[in-house]
A = this chain, B = another copy of it.
Amino acid sequence: MPNGSPSHIVKSYEEDLKRLREMIARMGGLAERQVADAADALIRRDNKLAAEVVARDKLLDDMEREVEQFCVRLLALRQPMAQDLRLIIACMKISQDLERIGDYARNGAKRAIVVSQQPLLGSLNGFERMAELVQENLKGAIDALVEEDHAQADAVWANDEPIDGIYNGIFREMLTFMMEDPRNITAATHLLFIAKNMERIGDHATNIAERVHFAVLGTPLTEERPKADVSTSAVVQPPA
């Protein structure tokens, strides 16, 4: 903050930073809702809800642009230093993560519409659980930003492993469905991509947590993150 500023300028600057955090919180809330609704649409075969998720994605694109514009204005007018500068940059990058999360949710919702017209494959319990965990991490990461709570950010960062575990299970399950009956292949392929999208949303929540940690403390979270997605090397054999 510039030295010697009159107190009303200082106050309005603090309000600007508060407003920025609120913009990200609102954007995070919408991203969470998109993830929840995309999963619901899939599980309840609700194509109306899926279409709503697709239509609503534009809002996240607009919000990313608003965050960027607001940050540019803050940088130009306030010339922030140290922690404030880190916060503003983190918010810009987080808005990029949230926009990307929205893309994954929209893509999942589109695929849910196709899946709803195909034979039912299993219970989709794994998808429900995965969506819950991903939303939890996303919420935790955004709360950590709003409350400038690096310990909460670290907790989210360490909590990605169970999501990867469920994803690996779904990967094998879907390949098995495909091998059992070729009529399952279209649905299983789209379900695989939906699961992968959720896993990537989880990765973005982890990215956000890393950015919050850095914004609050000024030091990166460098430790190697526990990562349990082994599906890139998975081989599944057809039944003999």
Partner of A234, one of B68, B71, B114: B114
Contact flags A229-240 to B (C-beta < 8 A → 1, else 0):
000111111110
Contact A76 B85 (CB under 8 A): yes
Stretch at the interface among A86-94, A134-142, A145-153: A86-94
Collect the chain B residues with CB atoms within 8 Å of residue A79's CB: 79
Which of A5-13, A15-23, A157-165, A184-192 lies at the binding interface?
Answer: A184-192
**A213 interface residue (CB < 8 Å to B):** no
Chain A interface extent, by class: 35 or more
Q: Is A81 an interface residue (CB 8 A)?
A: yes
Is A178 located at the chain interface by the 8 A CB criterion? yes
A182 interface residue (CB < 8 Å to B)? yes
A175 located at the interface, meaning its Cβ lies under 8 Å from any Cβ of chain B in the complex: yes
* From B65, B118, B185, contact of A178 by CB (8 A): B185
A113: chain B residues at CB < 8 Å are 233
Residue of B nearest to A222 (CB): B65
- Residue pair B233, A114 in contact (C-beta under 8 Å): yes
Measured between beta carbons, the chain B residues less than 8 angstroms from A232 are: 107, 110-111, 114, 190, 193
Q: Decide yes or no whether A179 CB sits under 8 A from chain B.
A: yes
C-alpha spacing A65/B237, complex, angstroms:
41
Given A186-B175, A193-B196, A233-B114, are A72 and B85 neighbors across the interface (CB < 8 Å)?
Answer: yes
Contacts of A117 in B (CB 8 A): 235
- Let me know if B85 and A81 touch, CB within 8 A: no
Whether the Cβ atoms of A72 and B92 lie closer than 8 Å is no
The answer to whether B175 touches A185 (Cβ under 8 A) is: yes
Give me the interface of A with B, judged by CB distance under 8 Å.
65, 68, 71-72, 75-76, 79, 81-82, 85-86, 89, 92-93, 96, 107, 110-111, 113-114, 117-118, 175, 178-179, 182-183, 185-186, 189-190, 192-193, 196, 220, 232-239
Known: A76-B81, A189-B189. 19 other contacts (CB 8 A): A72-B89, A75-B75, A75-B85, A75-B89, A79-B79, A92-B92, A93-B93, A93-B96, A107-B232, A110-B232, A175-B185, A175-B189, A178-B182, A179-B185, A182-B239, A185-B238, A186-B235, A189-B192, A193-B232
